[in-house]
Chain A
């Protein structure tokens, strides 16, 4: 493992640990809210527990992932420039941070699955693994898009991406009914795959167009 990977994981872990209480509280609030709303909204209309679990797991993974991301503060406090001045490439910086955030999201997703299992006494390993895979293939490219936007784009555009992240969290709540009733629908699966492919293409293009100079120069403007 390279020195930078070790350093990033150490630093991200300590930062998360130092803001531990507020992080755990926020994630727990989201879990209570989303589980409560899922159960109450769908119980009357053919409650499909497997789909609910997949939905909550995906949602909690994304919440943990987005809550632990902090590209903007890296830029504002000058830690981005410090790291780049020490010979780290911007692409390594973004990808490495995302890998850590992905693990945090996986932890929140698995923790919520364990809680749901305890609450509903429902175990379905295959759908759980599928949800974790879906989370990973969605979160990774979105993290890259977000990371590059926050580091290399002007403040206005970076702010739009911040709003998109918030919109994803909150608008997902509105998709509960749709997802829980259509998770086995073949068109729904095709649509999801198409979105994932688009996310990966955009993230790769953004990653290729990024460079250290861009990340520092946008700061000056």
Chain B
């Protein structure tokens, strides 16, 4: 089932074309890596998927029931505690605060329980894990993650990979990153983007997507030269 479908989408910002003729779809069960260099239009694509941006031309259809986001800047209220932040998201999504049981399940999954410590005192990795914890409240059918590995140390990156695998059991994931290495083993489809889609490929039987990725960028560099 198609959760999101882009049909020849163009996006201009301040008269400058950021995305050109983008067509792809996100289906149930897919874990898509949106890969591209800095400034390739990954965040713009994410914002188009979430509905914050409207396309300049083309059409986007959305059929998912519930979506969740993890932003590169996390978007946490620094003056709140972990439980207060989870309660805020829970109220936003379900209209109710979380129960002790739900709180314990979330803290066990993300391996984080900070008690009365304010979010402003959290490390980047802790904030990122809490962002993932917020997703566990409403169990969305589509999760958008914008650069989830950015700012994390190697250990944090490993635990993020583990959390993404956990999330992929119940949701479709659409992950933007400029680093394919970190997404290998997590994603089952890659979309390579640089203003327009350069490559869209599914990984069959755990095949590595890295050689294709390097091949495309090699070709771009040859063209530039």
Contacts and interface: CB of A to CB of B under 8 A. Distances in A.
Contact of A77 (B76, B84, B91): B76
- A interface residue count range (under 10 / 10 to 19 / 20 to 34 / 35 or more): 20 to 34
Contact of B75 (A6, A82, A88): A82
Interface string A183-221: 000000000000000000000000000001100110010
A86 B13 contact: no
B75 A213 contact: no
A11 interface: yes
A3 B73 contact: no
A165 B163 CA distance: 44
B84 A86 contact: no
B113 interface: no
A69 to B, nearest CB: 14
Contacts of B77: 11, 15, 77, 79
Nearest to A18: B79
Contacts of A213: 52-54
A15 to B, nearest CB: 5
B144 A7 contact: no
Interface in B29-81: 47, 50-54, 67-69, 71, 73-80
Nearest to B140: A86
Interface string A74-116: 0001111111111110000000000000000000000000000
A14 B95 contact: no
Contacts of B13: 217, 220
Contacts, number: 82
Contacts of B88: 7, 10-11, 14
A21 interface: no
A7 B71 CA distance: 19
A86 B88 CA distance: 12
B52 A10 contact: no
B165 interface: no
A77 B92 contact: no
Q: List the 3 closest pairs (A to B, CB-CB), nearest first.
A: A82-B75, A78-B73, A7-B91
19 contacts: A3-B93, A7-B91, A10-B87, A11-B84, A11-B88, A14-B88, A77-B75, A79-B77, A81-B52, A82-B71, A83-B92, A85-B47, A85-B71, A85-B75, A86-B68, A87-B67, A88-B92, A216-B52, A217-B13
